[in-house]
Structure 1
Amino acid sequence: MIKKLKYYGELIKIEHTIFALPFAIASIFIVEKGLPSVDKLFWILVAVIAGRTAGMAFNRFFDLPFDKLNPRSKNWASVSGLVKPIEILVLAIISSIVLIFSAYMLNKLAFYLSPIAILLLIIYPLGKRFTNFVHLILGAVYFIIPIAVSIALKASVVPSAVFLGLAMAFWVSGFDIFYSLQDIEFDKKVGLYSIPSKFGIKNAILFARFFHFLTLIFLILTGIYADLGLIYYIGLFILTLFLVYEHSLIKENDLSNINVAFFTINGYVSIIYMFFVILDIYLNWRL
């Protein structure tokens, strides 16, 4: 049983929750200007975790034919048979049901809109079959996180949630481009679409830089519309330094630091953002 749980953990890359969860928590504090009731906080976090689990499971299920051919993924639990395809699909369906139920526990509007999230989670792994801009589909998944938080807490969409959603969308799209650089030759060989496989490494890096520039613009707008203060902008300055460092690690002729740039640096980015949002709201230092 312990081994099986370990395989499931590897399947859904549970450590990658560090990308979405801190931003979701930051969204809660921005929309609510503090902590909401315990029950709302609980169901929002359950929805985020269930949604991410469903997304990874759908991704592994639909990508299985390609993952079996890709040398980079040959040792994955889904490819080696340690987790069977039917088990992956069941995990995706159960997680989707948990997401929808969590939305139901929050309010009717969240419940009615929850299938949109499921649809995006299914479209993303299929997107690399028909569009080079598949990274933006993943970005759309992250875009709806603050929107969903706003609907869960206010039954409406506040402007700051929209700007934060756009920031998250371009942040994720940018580092997903970096991640896909690992498979550029494989994608060309099997006919999968991505910005790197279409435009080359140099132009893909430029796309990622532009997307992360937009991330910073939308994070500034988030601060303005959420009426956040000095501490928030100090946090954005530190966050910017981490993004600049991330981009310094990825070079056209040297992709050896992709894992550091993808996981370590972006993990810090999400945690830094959450920390400074919470600190700003509680200390309330205004410019």
Structure 2
Amino acid sequence: MFKKIQEFGHLVRLSHSLFAMPFALGSMWVAANGFRDMSWQETARIVVLIVLCMVTARNSAMSFNRIADADIDAKNPRTAKRHLPDGRLSKKSVIAFLAVNGVLFVLFAALLQPLAGLLALPVWLLLLSYSYWKRFSWLCHWFLGFAIGMSPLGAWIAIRGEFALFPIFLLMILMLWMGGFDIIYATQDEEIDRQMGLHSVPARFGRKRSLQIAFWSHMAMLALCVAFGFIWQMGVAWWAVTALMAAAVFYIHLFRKSDDLDAMNRDFFLANVTISVLVMVGLFVWILMGGDVNVLY
């Protein structure tokens, strides 16, 4: 039983939840104004439910991606050893896992806030749809980023029951960040994507131009971070975070020379976790220092 649970954890790459989770927690912290006016019981309830929403949403998206891409993965030497092509998990068990996580996601969202519950099913379906984008558009990388980027907006709605520009900026920052890194990751499959008629930036533009496009996606992300800091008067902590984010971007694009797959995966993971945690810390410190999210209002 434990081994089976481990296999599902590997299937969805549970550790990669660290990419979006800090963005969601930072947005939650700001939306709740540091939970200053809530009891510890209500705070704990909200935090646990938001974390559970994040986990079940990501489990759903990743398991559906494995189902949708099973035939493609089987033909790609890099992915042929994944759980479905390799037979370590059956398609029925992954479908069941998907269904359970989908039901739990909608339930947890409904327990948080009426609007969150109302939007849960459409958002869940949108999350699943990203698996098909590479079949018809090389914009698939940014759609993946958009799907991941909905996490800070979802956390905001779970607290305040409304849309707002603040979490939408966080969504766009995360979309450009993840979109750029997904392009870098996809350079591994440039030739196989072409052979199978899949649409990706590397398949369309080649490796060299793809890395340039990823770089400019990340530069646009940094520009948004600067605009974000000015609009909401984020203070010294945010500028320090932005400087560290810029350093990470320039390291990845200008100083990382290795084409080794293990090195690429390690750098991909560490850079994403670093950026996400930095953003969360910047948002936490801003509220602790008396930041006002209503500056624009």
Q: Please give the range of the TM-score, normalised by the shorter of the 2 chains.
A: over 0.9
Partner of 1:4: 4
Partner of 1:14: 14
Counterpart of 2:2 in structure 1: which amino acid? I
Counterpart of 1:241 in structure 2: which amino acid? A
Structural mapping, 1:188-199, within 5 Å: 188-199=194-205
Change (3 A) 1:39 1:17: same
Partner of 2:295: none
Q: Report the RMSD for the aligned CA atoms in angstroms.
A: 1.8
2:161 paired residue among 155, 158, 174 = 155
Structural mapping, 1:119-198, within 5 Å: 119-198=125-204
**Would you say the 8 A contact 1:249–1:261 is kept in 2?**
no
Partner of 1:45: 51
**Would you say the 8 A contact 2:26–2:284 is kept in 1?**
yes
**Would you say the 8 A contact 2:56–2:105 is kept in 1?**
yes
> For 1:166-206, what per-residue CA distance to the aligned partner results, in whole angstroms no more than 9, with x for missing partners?
10111111111111111111111111110110011111111
**Would you say the 8 A contact 1:59–1:122 is kept in 2?**
yes
Partner of 1:231: 237
Asked whether 1:222 is paired with 2:220, we answer: no
4+ residue runs over 4 A deviation: none
3-state SS of paired residue (2:78): helix
> For 1:117-139, what per-residue CA distance to the aligned partner results, in whole angstroms no more than 9, with x for missing partners?
21222211111111111112112
Structure 1 position 249, deviation (Å): 4.8
> For 1:56-115, what per-residue CA distance to the aligned partner results, in whole angstroms no more than 9, with x for missing partners?
101101000011111111222222111111111111111111111111111211111112
2:112 paired residue among 106, 112, 127 = 106
Partner of 2:24: 24
Gapped regions of structure 2 (runs ≥ 5) = 293-297
Change (3 A) 1:221 1:11: same
CA–CA distance in structure 2, aligned partners of residues 110 and 269 of structure 1: 27
Structural mapping, 1:50-69, within 5 Å: 50-69=56-75
3-state SS of paired residue (2:163): coil
Partner of 1:33: 33
Partner of 2:250: 244
**Would you say the 8 A contact 1:150–1:161 is kept in 2?**
yes
Change (3 A) 1:33 1:226: farther
Partner of 1:273: 279
Counterpart of 2:32 in structure 1: which amino acid? E
Partner of 2:259: 255
Asked whether 1:202 is paired with 2:200, we answer: no
Q: TM-score, normalised by structure 1?
A: 0.93
Aligned residues: 284
CA–CA distance in structure 2, aligned partners of residues 111 and 39 of structure 1: 16
Counterpart of 2:25 in structure 1: which amino acid? I
2:91 paired residue among 76, 85, 106 = 85
Gapped regions of structure 1 (runs ≥ 5) = none
Q: TM-score, normalised by structure 2?
A: 0.90
CA–CA distance in structure 2, aligned partners of residues 58 and 209 of structure 1: 29
**Would you say the 8 A contact 1:230–1:285 is kept in 2?**
no
CA–CA distance in structure 1, aligned partners of residues 212 and 31 of structure 2: 33
Percent identity at matched positions?
27
**Would you say the 8 A contact 1:146–1:161 is kept in 2?**
yes
Structure 1 position 250, deviation (Å): 5.5
CA–CA distance in structure 2, aligned partners of residues 248 and 263 of structure 1: 17
